[in-house]
Amino acid sequence: MSDPEVPSGAIASDAAALPGGTTAGDRVAALAGELASAAAERGPATYMEVCGTHTMAISRFGLRELFPEAIRLVSGPGCPVCVTATGDLDVAVALARQPQVTLVTFGDLVRVPASRSTLADERAAGADVRVVYSAADAVELAARLPEREVVFVGIGFETTAPTVAAAVLTARDRGLPNFSLLSLHKTMPGALRALLDAEEMAITGFLLPGHVSVITGSDCYRFVAEEYGVGGVVAGFEAEDVLEALLMLARQRTPAIEIGYRRAVHPEGNLVAQRLMAEVFEPCDASWRGLGTIPGSGLRLAPAFRSYAAEERLPVETGETVEPAGCACGTVLRGALDPVDCPLFASRCTPASPVGPCMVSSEGSCAARYRYRDVEGLEAEL
Ligand code: SF4
């Protein structure tokens, strides 16, 4: 593919004039041309992005239409709502059913199917389930409702964990005995290692997450190149950022970890945020949808803060875990199945009536492909 045209999706309408008279669309077209040349030189490659924001950006900008045939880009386990295991959702549901509990979490999670219901179902049945924008909001709620046990369900990667750690410190400093945390936080390096150990996909390189890497830096991914011989580039979120990162990957002759998102990410990351996480959390084994239990890939409260751990303060029974019937989210999250190849995609499973979390979450790969299917030229295939 040489000198590709910008597709009719959002890129063209986002094309703002840049100094020198070029537009973002010009730059995107130029990068796509360079990517086509680099890919032709390099040969076939499979890259995986592991960031929900990248998933949405790639679909929103219609970038797949710009990729040369030699490049295949798949989505991996980058959506925090999607990778949350059904068994962990069952614990959240069981907590919500406790009469003294006010369960608080982020928006998308309330619609994700657990084994027998969703948190939204529990709310409709009378449970006190509330949606907040931050963990700090949950702490405020605990202060306002001293007669309630306010349980915050914390999900997310290294991007979110420092803010939740700060909320736990605030709860401690304010002496709030009725605040607790169900920590379902996960860390990204363990997931990359699990994907590579599984050898299910022949991954040539990773498009590494931008927001997560602001906190972690890029050094934590060096094992990917050094131990597995797989490259990685930290990418930003504009169309140009994604294409530039892919271009850097395609030009790698020796696998390496590089930073494309240089305006925000440094090799060592944000040391203040890392210290905050290390003070409040400690690593633990975590259960990931599609990847199973990954040693050391979760964050639980450190011993000094264990009194805020919901699972210890309010132990619950959950019963047998039942996955959504027919849902292939686990395979999608490993990059081994394209969302549009799930038999339920856009038929039984839509954002209005989602079967699995990848269609529920605003960062889910199934939701992204459904929402922007006209940009991606999928309408005729469905
Ligand atoms: Fe799961 Fe629906 Fe995606 Fe299929 S289309 S993998 S059922 S979320």
Do the Cβ atoms of 54 and 237 come closer than 8 Å? yes
pLDDT given for residue 24 in this prediction: 78
Q: Over the stretch 131-161, which tens digit does the pLDDT of each residue have?
A: 999 999 999 999 999 999 999 999 999 999 9
- Choice between 99 and 18, residue whose per-residue pLDDT is larger: 99
Task: Report in angstroms the alpha-carbon separations of 176 from 8, 170, 299.
Answer: 53, 9, 22
Q: What is the pLDDT of residue 22?
A: 74
CA distances from 305 to 175, 281, 313, 382 (A): 13, 8, 12, 50
Check pocket membership of 346 for ligand 1, CB cut-off 6 A.
Answer: no
**pLDDT for residue 6 is more than 90:** no
Using CA atoms, how far residue 256 sits from 93, 187, 230, 233, 247, in Å, is 43, 21, 7, 8, 13
Q: What would be the CATH architecture of the domain defined by 84-187+269-313?
A: 3-Layer(aba) Sandwich (3.40)
Which residues on neighbouring strands pair with residue 153, listed in sequence order? 182
Q: What atom in ligand 1 is closest to the CA of residue 328?
A: 6
pLDDT exceeds cutoff 60 at 280: yes
pLDDT in tens, 168-206: 999 999 999 999 999 999 999 999 999 999 999 999 999
Instruction: Tell whether ligand 1 has an atom less than 6 A from the beta carbon of residue 329.
Output: yes
Quick check: CB of 344 below 6 Å from ligand 1? yes
**Ligand 1: does its nearest atom lie under 6 Å from the Cβ of 339?**
yes
Give 19's pLDDT tier (boundaries 50, 70, 90). Answer: low
The pLDDT assigned to 10 comes to 39
> Which one of 349, 360, 378 would you pick to mutate in the ligand 1 pocket, going by the greatest count of ligand atoms within 8 A of its CB?
349
Identify whether the C-beta of residue 88 lies closer than 8 Å to the C-beta of residue 63: no
Does residue 380 surpass a pLDDT of 80?
no
CA of 367 to the centre of ligand 1 (A): 9
pLDDT (mean) for 116-127: 97
Q: Ligand 1 center to residue 366 CA distance, Å?
A: 6
Q: Is the pLDDT of residue 364 over 60?
A: yes
- The pLDDT of residue 9 is 42
Lowest mean pLDDT, pick from 210-214, 287-291, 332-336, 371-375: 371-375
332 lines ligand 1 (CB under 6 A): yes
Phi and psi, residue 375, nearest 5°: -65, -35
Return the pLDDT at 26.
86
pLDDT tens digits for 213-251? 999 999 999 999 999 999 999 999 999 999 999 999 999
Sign of CA dihedral 18, 23, 27, 30: negative
Which is more confidently placed, 113 or 3? 113
Where exactly are the structural domains of the chain?
Answer: 84-187+269-313
Share of residues in the chain with pLDDT > 70 (%): 92
pLDDT of 374 > 80? The answer is no
DSSP bridge partners of 105: 131
Return the pLDDT at 381: 53
Lowest mean pLDDT among 73-87, 135-149, 283-297, 368-382: 368-382
CB-based contact 366:333 (threshold 8 Å): no
Q: Is the CB of 79 under 6 A from ligand 1?
A: no
Q: Which residue has tokens 């939204």?
A: 120
Distance CA 179, CA 174 (A): 10
Residue 232 backbone dihedrals phi, psi, to 5 degrees? -160, 140
Ligand 1 pocket, 112 CB below 6 A?
Answer: no
pLDDT of 101 strictly over 70: yes
Residue whose token pair is 């990847």: 291
pLDDT at 25: 83
**Over 60: is that where the pLDDT of 267 sits?**
yes
Give the per-residue pLDDT at 98: 97
